[in-house]
């Protein structure tokens, strides 16, 4: 089911959220708090936008547990960025652990990651593939539902050279709607956990969604404020100044009393750089049913 | 373009051909003699049939160069078998190095490997996929032309619980014929190198084929005889006794003057256990053209 | 702190204890029951004695979590042996995850593994090294307290070509005694967890020891009986027939009500092949203090 | 025997020298031109100084061949720096392939790498270790002669918080002198190849040395000038402007007619940032003999 986080804000190292926070992403790779199984050790990934004038993000992924990869530590401690995605993976049953299956996935200037599982994926995998344009089809290098969903998203977005926040939101909703239709047609009636995250380097859209009404979606939080180094690692101080950062995350990296906002069930969080962030209900065709 | 070998014979360790021969498969991973580029360091694989009563082969594959993998050495030196496939990979340009892309591939009691390249694979990959049955479609875990070809082969063989030598030969020829048609339809007119190898644990079929007339196929040899340990590694002594082994290989593991038989262009080598081995011309629909 | 097990018995696959048991070693790599932290995901290892006439064991080790390594599954399901060691590692803080640091360690026909930690190892590491013979010194390839302890053990055993059970026991006690002296001299006064296991392919000796009186040593169990495949995985049926196997393990692989024997604090379990197994108190010079 | 290069100059990506040059370091990992064996595929490493105000370099190392590591490509293409070391490894016989054995090695603000081999290292390894201070002893995590030499160097430099160019040169010469004495005392009379490189982020010192008179040292070149992107990759245009960069390398990354300077046998190249670079004869106690 994985854990992830996104950061948008002043140019900074990635280590405070990845390593130094008391509930850093690396802590969550071994001791996740908001899951029954605390382990997310089937690989990890970073995607960051360079500070020089280059819109195409770098990704660094590997199959080891995040806690023992010496290169992850180096990059988190030495590379500065204003915008990044980070992910630790818990592979769904039967899904291979491989670099091609590590998040975030990238295409053009977009990054994508997923915390969840499109249950019974094998029942509609081929149908999903058949729907893709040749360009989207050629994106897929691995075996995960997550990467297939990203290819579908890129088709919904029509591989836009530039996209507004609402275009990203709409492509996201269409992606989920198509997945729901595919699942329905295939008779996949168990729950799908759909916390998707996408960014173009400026706009970030993240969903918190479970397809069955009775099922709690995977956790999701966000905050706008400031990271301060302190003795126990870091504090997060909410504020709305221009130099605030926006963090969207499966679990708060610091104490929850630091005023992290819990995202509502079947909602979507949208952010513009580090300027503003809000959530709204997902607008889905079958919403009545869920 | 890879290097491979197959062994069928008395129960034995794999190390003589993998490590001890002067031109062992591990030597060929760094110093292949019959290629322009001597390096086959993008992973390796073993597939062997257990000596206990178990028809399903084990596979052991990894992405490191064969020469530096300490576990490969252990297995080659400690596990006995009467029948095995071994492969060292040189990834085609753009093909990822991953476990899922390492040969041999397995399905049921069959093993498959490939030395070559279906040039311009991207031009007909999706068409090939569309031809597959759902069962064959679900076999594919990686990105290689080789694995796709194996899925196609399994369809041609109709996933037979048991197959005769001639059924294997026919499915092999049909596989190649379909690939040629797909390539033709897609306008892929450069050469494809098609040295495929398949076994069910008893019968082995290996091709030596290049689609363009002017192009030399990848090398292929075979021999029937006895492996003898000697000071320089091993000797191969051809003979036809009952305890002979049959080896089919990209390059002779010992001195060529050891009477290795060179397989003819566009031919197929077929063997029944360690009992008999012979080559004949491939029977392909477009054969007139090639 | 790791988890391990040893098997001695009729020729068998390794998969029942490594994969199929409800609390198999692979389960213990993610969900260990008798530790505060359930994760043992910093690599794994197998050491087994071939069934052919070869006294030198094979080892297969790697740095990934045991649960996701496809080759481990293959070897456990396809290779038969009468005697093996298996280990899943939880690296002590600061110890690198590397193949050289994976257990079991081997030398000649001996295998060694460790579940525990020689706390404050850095305080006496160099002194330990200085005590070693050149031959023992040259054994060390990695960084772990465990491997250093094995080198010390080989010196205590004088690299014996053949050893009796009592020689193994004595070398084990001398090894622990020297470590205690080294620690004392270095002022390392916190607890050391010393569950060591050694075998020569026939005799097996495993300790359960904590240097400080108030501290509970790491768990250790053993059983003599029969593994039976059942619907939930395997059952363990204790008996004393000739075809019984002997298992010594950090945690019972099956339900504890299957009459697993808990090893006493500061005791040593000794077994001769699958013939007999018993525990006795460790005979250590400082025993009065502990 | 490895290949390496160092860069000092205007803030830039690492990809031109690592990937884009016709004889880039990654090309040298598979097709090195100035060695009998063209393969340097036993791991690789980068060490770079961050552009933000942080004197401690990052290192990124791994055990795969440089040509197939997707993360290396990412970092080379996305991370800017004014000063870096890069290395592709060909492990000496018997030396394990592991992250701990990958160059460059780092300590404080220093980086170290080695192209060569201290032949018969086992004969004097323990003596070298015994000479080290506790602090230098604790640096060693792997098994290579190269890393041991770096620990010795740090002792010769007395772990200086700041060092001048001449202090680095002197510590380098003392390191080599001690190694020669250790080898002599141990009866190691075959040739040692000693191309060492060290930097503190500003000063760079690289040696080209072979201990036996009749033996050609490993190749070494340097140049001062400008990297220009061109159709075939990059050109190197020598000049002495302020924005020149200084490159010191086992093999010229571009055509040799680009005026690369060949370093003389048993000489040392010294550079101050990108300001000046020159070579002089190594001043060694036994120089008369060599």
Q: How many CA atoms lie within 13 A of A129 on its CB side?
A: 22
Point out the residue among C30, C63, C70 whose CB comes nearest to the CB of A64.
C63
Query: What's the confidence (pLDDT) of residue B287?
Result: 53
SS3 for B96?
Answer: coil
Query: What's the confidence (pLDDT) of residue C265?
Result: 96
- CA closest to A43 among chain C residues: C64
Q: Chain D: nearest CA to C143, how far in angstroms? A: 7
Interface of D with A in 55-74 (CB under 8 A): 58-62, 70-71, 74
Cis amide bond preceding C104, omega within 30: yes
Given an 8 Å threshold on Cβ–Cβ distance, is D122 in contact with C100? no
- Separation between Cα atoms, residue C37 and residue C43, nearest integer Å: 16
Point out the residue among D30, D64, D70 whose CB comes nearest to the CB of B39.
D30
- Euclidean distance between the first and the last CA atom of chain B, given in angstroms as a whole number: 21
Collect all residues of chain C within an 8 Å Cβ-Cβ radius of residue A63: 64, 68
The answer to whether A76 touches A164, Cβ cutoff 8 Å, is no
Query: What's the confidence (pLDDT) of residue D232?
Result: 79
pLDDT in tens, B66-83: 999 999 999 999 999 999
SS3 for B66?
Answer: helix
Of the residues C79, C99, C141, the best mutation for testing chain B's interface (the one with the most B CB atoms within 10 Å of its CB) is C79
Query: What's the confidence (pLDDT) of residue A113?
Result: 98
Q: How far, in whole angstroms, is CA A184 from its chain's centroid?
A: 24
Average pLDDT over residues A156-180: 98
The answer to whether C49 touches B74, Cβ cutoff 8 Å, is no
Query: What's the confidence (pLDDT) of residue B286?
Result: 63
- Separation between Cα atoms, residue D249 and residue D47, nearest integer Å: 15
- Alpha-helical (H) ranges within chain D are 15, 25-31, 70-78, 121-131, 134-137, 145-156, 165-185
- Two tokens at D19? 């990937």
φ and ψ at residue C157, rounded to 5 degrees: -85, -5
- Separation between Cα atoms, residue D7 and residue B82, nearest integer Å: 54
Given an 8 Å threshold on Cβ–Cβ distance, is A50 in contact with D75? no
Give the helix, strand, coil percentages of chain C, each rounded to 5.
30, 30, 40
User: Does pLDDT of D264 surpass 50?
Assistant: yes
Q: Chain B: nearest CA to A93, how far in angstroms? A: 15
Average pLDDT over residues D96-114: 97
In sequence order, the 6+-apart residues with CB closer than 8 A to the CB of C255 are: C22
Query: What's the confidence (pLDDT) of residue C51?
Result: 93
Per DSSP, the residues of D49-86 read --SSS--SPEEEEESS-GGG-HHHHHHHHH-EEEEEEE
- Alpha-helical (H) ranges within C69-220 are 70-78, 121-131, 134-137, 145-156, 165-186
Query: What's the confidence (pLDDT) of residue D286?
Result: 63
**What does the mean pLDDT of chain A come to?**
95
Cis amide bond preceding D104, omega within 30: yes
Given an 8 Å threshold on Cβ–Cβ distance, is D41 in contact with B38? no
Domain segments of chain C as ranges: 3-281
In sequence order, the 6+-apart residues with CB closer than 8 A to the CB of B158 are: none
Query: What's the confidence (pLDDT) of residue B288?
Result: 42
Percent of chain A with pLDDT over 90: 89
ipTM metric: 0.95
User: Lowest mean pLDDT: which of B173-177, B229-233, D241-245?
Assistant: B229-233
C92: which DSSP letter? P
Q: Chain D: nearest CA to C126, how far in angstroms? A: 8
Given an 8 Å threshold on Cβ–Cβ distance, is C38 in contact with A41? no
Of the residues D43, D98, D121, D138, the best mutation for testing chain C's interface (the one with the most C CB atoms within 10 Å of its CB) is D98
HEC sequence for chain A = CCEEEEEEEEEEECHHHHHHCCCCHHHHHHHCCCCCCCCCCCCEEEEECCCCCCCCCEEEEECCCHHHCHHHHHHHHHCEEEEEEEEECCCCCCCCCCHHHCCCEEECCEEEEEEEECCCHHHHHHHHHHHCCHHHHCCCCCCCHHHHHHHHHHHHCCCCCCCCHHHHHHHHHHHHHHHHHHHHHHCCCCCCEEEEEEECCCEEEEEECECCCCCCCCCCEEEEEEEEEECCEEEEEECCCCCCEEEEECCCCCCHHHCCEECCCCEEEEEECCCEEEEEECCCCCHHHC
Query: What's the confidence (pLDDT) of residue A233?
Result: 86
Q: Chain C: nearest CA to D93, how far in angstroms? A: 15
Given an 8 Å threshold on Cβ–Cβ distance, is D75 in contact with A75? yes
Tokens 């049921």 belong to: B108
- Two tokens at B139? 């076999």
User: Does pLDDT of A252 surpass 80?
Assistant: yes
Query: What's the confidence (pLDDT) of residue A286?
Result: 63
Given an 8 Å threshold on Cβ–Cβ distance, is D100 in contact with C99? no
Collect all residues of chain B within an 8 Å Cβ-Cβ radius of residue A129: 129
C94–D contact, CB cutoff 8 A = no
Given an 8 Å threshold on Cβ–Cβ distance, is D70 in contact with B96? yes
Of the residues A142, A147, A148, the best mutation for testing chain B's interface (the one with the most B CB atoms within 10 Å of its CB) is A142
Q: Chain D: nearest CA to C141, how far in angstroms? A: 7
Letter string b/e over residues B29-66, b meaning 16 or more CB atoms within 10 A of that residue's CB: bbebebbeebbbbbbbbbbbbbbeeeeebbbbbbbbbb
Collect all residues of chain A within an 8 Å Cβ-Cβ radius of residue B126: 134, 137
Given an 8 Å threshold on Cβ–Cβ distance, is A100 in contact with B100? yes
D97–B contact, CB cutoff 8 A = yes
What is the torsional sign of CA A255, A259, A262, A267? Answer: negative
Average pLDDT over residues D81-88: 98
The answer to whether D168 touches D157, Cβ cutoff 8 Å, is yes
| Largest separation between any pair of C-alpha atoms in chain C | 54
pLDDT in tens, B246-286: 999 999 999 877 689 999 999 999 999 999 999 999 999 76
Query: What's the confidence (pLDDT) of residue C289?
Result: 47
Instruction: Give domain C3-281's CATH superfamily.
Output: Aminohydrolase, N-terminal nucleophile (Ntn) domain (3.60.20.10)
Collect all residues of chain C within an 8 Å Cβ-Cβ radius of residue B60: 71, 74-75
B127–A contact, CB cutoff 8 A = no
> Which subunits count as partners of chain D given 3+ CB pairs below 8 Å?
A, B, C
Given an 8 Å threshold on Cβ–Cβ distance, is C100 in contact with D100? yes
From residue B103, how far is each of B21, B61, D170 by CA, in Å? Answer: 21, 7, 52
Given an 8 Å threshold on Cβ–Cβ distance, is D54 in contact with A78? yes
pLDDT in tens, D43-62: 999 999 999 989 999 999 99
SS3 for D92?
Answer: coil
- Separation between Cα atoms, residue D89 and residue C197, nearest integer Å: 36
User: Does pLDDT of D283 surpass 50?
Assistant: yes
Query: What's the confidence (pLDDT) of residue A231?
Result: 83
What is the torsional sign of CA B117, B119, B121, B124? Answer: negative
Per DSSP, the residues of B194-242 read EEEEEESSSEEEEEE-BSSTTSPPPP-EEEEEEEEEETTEEEEEE--ST
Point out the residue among C48, C52, C74 whose CB comes nearest to the CB of B80.
C52
The answer to whether A40 touches A29, Cβ cutoff 8 Å, is yes
A26–C contact, CB cutoff 8 A = no
Given an 8 Å threshold on Cβ–Cβ distance, is D38 in contact with B42? no
Query: pLDDT digit of tens for each residue in chain C (290 aa)?
Result: 799 999 999 999 999 999 999 999 999 999 998 888 889 999 999 999 999 989 999 999 999 999 999 999 999 999 999 999 999 999 988 899 999 999 999 999 999 999 999 999 999 999 999 999 999 999 999 999 999 999 999 999 999 999 999 999 999 999 999 999 999 999 999 999 999 999 999 999 999 999 998 899 999 999 999 999 888 789 999 999 999 999 999 999 998 776 899 999 999 999 999 999 999 999 997 654 44
Given an 8 Å threshold on Cβ–Cβ distance, is C97 in contact with A38? no
Q: Chain C: nearest CA to D141, how far in angstroms? A: 7
User: Does pLDDT of A213 surpass 70?
Assistant: yes
- CA closest to C75 among chain B residues: B58
């Amino acid at each position: 089911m994985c854990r992830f986080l996104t950061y948008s804000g002043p140019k900074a190292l990635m280590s405070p959220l990845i390593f130094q926070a008391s509930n850093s992403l690396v802590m969550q790779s071994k001791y996740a708090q908001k899951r029954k199984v605390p382990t997310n050790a089937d690989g990890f990934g970073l995607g960051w936008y360079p500070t020089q004038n280059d819109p195409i993000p770098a990704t660094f992924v590997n199959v080891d547990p995040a806690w023992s990869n010496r290169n992850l530590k180096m990059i988190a401690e030495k590379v500065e960025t204003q915008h990044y995605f980070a992910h630790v993976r818990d592979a769904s049953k039967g899904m291979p652990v491989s670099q091609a299956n590590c998040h975030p996935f990238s295409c053009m200037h977009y990054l994508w990651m997923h915390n969840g599982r499109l249950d019974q994926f094998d029942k509609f995998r081929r149908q999903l593939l058949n729907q893709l344009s040749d360009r989207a089809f050629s994106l897929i290098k691995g075996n995960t539902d997550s990467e297939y969903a990203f290819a579908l998203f890129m088709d919904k977005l029509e591989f836009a050279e530039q996209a507004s926040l609402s275009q990203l939101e709409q492509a996201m909703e269409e992606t989920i709607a198509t997945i729901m239709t595919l699942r329905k047609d295939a008779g996949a009636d168990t729950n799908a956990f759909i916390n998707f995250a996408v960014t173009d380097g400026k706009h970030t859209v993240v969903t918190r969604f479970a397809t069955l009404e009775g099922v709690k979606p995977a956790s999701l939080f966000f905050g706008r404020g400031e990271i301060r180094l302190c003795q126990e690692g870091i504090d997060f101080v909410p504020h709305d100044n221009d130099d605030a950062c926006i963090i969207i995350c499966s679990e708060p990296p610091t104490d929850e009393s630091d005023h992290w906002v819990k995202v509502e069930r079947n909602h979507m969080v949208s952010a513009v750089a580090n300027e503003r962030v809000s959530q709204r209900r997902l607008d889905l065709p079958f919403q009545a049913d869920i």
